[in-house]
Amino acid sequence: MLFNSFAFLLVFLPVALALHWLVERFRPEYRLPLLLVLSFLFYGYWDWRFAPLLAASILVNWLVAQAFLQTRRELLITLALAANLLLLGVFKYFNFFAGLAVLIPGVAAPKWDVALPLGISFFTFHHVMYLVDLKAGRAPCYDLMRYALYIAFFPQVLAGPLVRWSEIMHQLDERPYKRPDAAERFARGLMLLTVGLAKKVFISDPLAEYVNPVFEQAATGGIVTVAEAWQATLGFTFQIYFDFSGYTDMALGIALMLGIVLPQNFDKPYTATSLQDFWRRWHMTLSRFLRDYLYIPLGGSRNGLAVQVGALFITMALGGLWHGAGLTFVAWGVAHGIGLGAGVLWRRAGLRMPDPAGWALTLLFVIFTWVLFRAPSFDAALRIYEGLIGLVPLGNGFKWQLIAVAAAIACLGPTAWAAVRAVPPWRPIAVGVAAALVAILFHIGDAANIEFIYFQF
Residues with active-site annotation: 323
Q: How far is CA 177 from CA 15, 26, 170, 185, 259, in A?
A: 17, 11, 16, 9, 7
Does pLDDT of 104 surpass 80? no
Compute the distance between CA of residue 65 and CA of residue 168 in angstroms, rounded to an integer: 18
- Position 306: which residue type? A
Query: How many Cα atoms sit within 13 Å of 14 on the Cβ side?
Result: 6
Judged by phi (left if over 0) then psi (alpha if -120 to 50, else beta), residue 235 lies in alpha
SS3 content of the chain, % helix, strand, coil (to 5): 75, 0, 25
Q: Specify the pLDDT at position 349.
A: 92
Q: Specify the pLDDT at position 453.
A: 80
pLDDT tens digits along 422-432? 988 888 888 88
Task: Give CA 324 to chain center in angstroms.
Answer: 12
Does pLDDT of 446 surpass 70? no
Average pLDDT over residues 314-329: 92
Dihedral in degrees, nearest 10, Cα atoms 422, 426, 431, 435: -10
pLDDT band at 153 (very low <50, low <70, confident <90, very high): very high
pTM: 0.93
User: What value does the mean pLDDT of the chain take?
Assistant: 92
pLDDT band at 208 (very low <50, low <70, confident <90, very high): very high
Does pLDDT of 266 surpass 90? yes
Percent of the chain surpassing pLDDT 70 = 96
Compute the distance between CA of residue 25 and CA of residue 182 in angstroms, rounded to an integer: 12
For the CA atoms of the chain, what is the radius of gyration?
23
Average pLDDT over residues 53-79: 96
Compute the distance between CA of residue 68 and CA of residue 70 in angstroms, rounded to an integer: 5
pLDDT band at 212 (very low <50, low <70, confident <90, very high): very high
Q: How far is CA 391 from CA 223, 237, 371, 386, in A?
A: 10, 22, 16, 5
pLDDT tens digits along 269-316? 999 999 999 999 999 999 999 999 999 999 998 889 999 999 999 999
pLDDT band at 48 (very low <50, low <70, confident <90, very high): confident
Does pLDDT of 92 surpass 90? no
Nearest to 173 by CA among 235, 259, 70, 80: 259
pLDDT band at 338 (very low <50, low <70, confident <90, very high): very high
Does pLDDT of 322 surpass 70? yes
CB distance 265 to 347 below 8 Å: no
Judged by phi (left if over 0) then psi (alpha if -120 to 50, else beta), residue 116 lies in beta
Transcribe 135-202 into DSSP letters: HTT-S----HHHHHHHHH-TTTTTT-----HHHHGGGTTS-GGGSTTHHHHHHHHHHHHHHHHHIIII
CB distance 224 to 392 below 8 Å: yes
CB distance 385 to 233 below 8 Å: no
Nearest to 393 by CA among 235, 230, 233, 227: 227
pLDDT tens digits along 7-26? 999 999 999 999 999 999 99
Q: Specify the pLDDT at position 246.
A: 95
Transcribe 101-139 into DSSP letters: HTTSTT--------PPPTTHHHHHHHHHHHHHHHHTT-S
Compute the distance between CA of residue 129 and CA of residue 288 in angstroms, rounded to an integer: 11
Average pLDDT over residues 239-259: 96
Nearest to 449 by CA among 248, 256, 215, 247: 247
Compute the distance between CA of residue 357 and CA of residue 378 in angstroms, rounded to an integer: 29
Q: Specify the pLDDT at position 102.
A: 63
CB distance 1 to 45 below 8 Å: yes
Does pLDDT of 184 surpass 70? yes
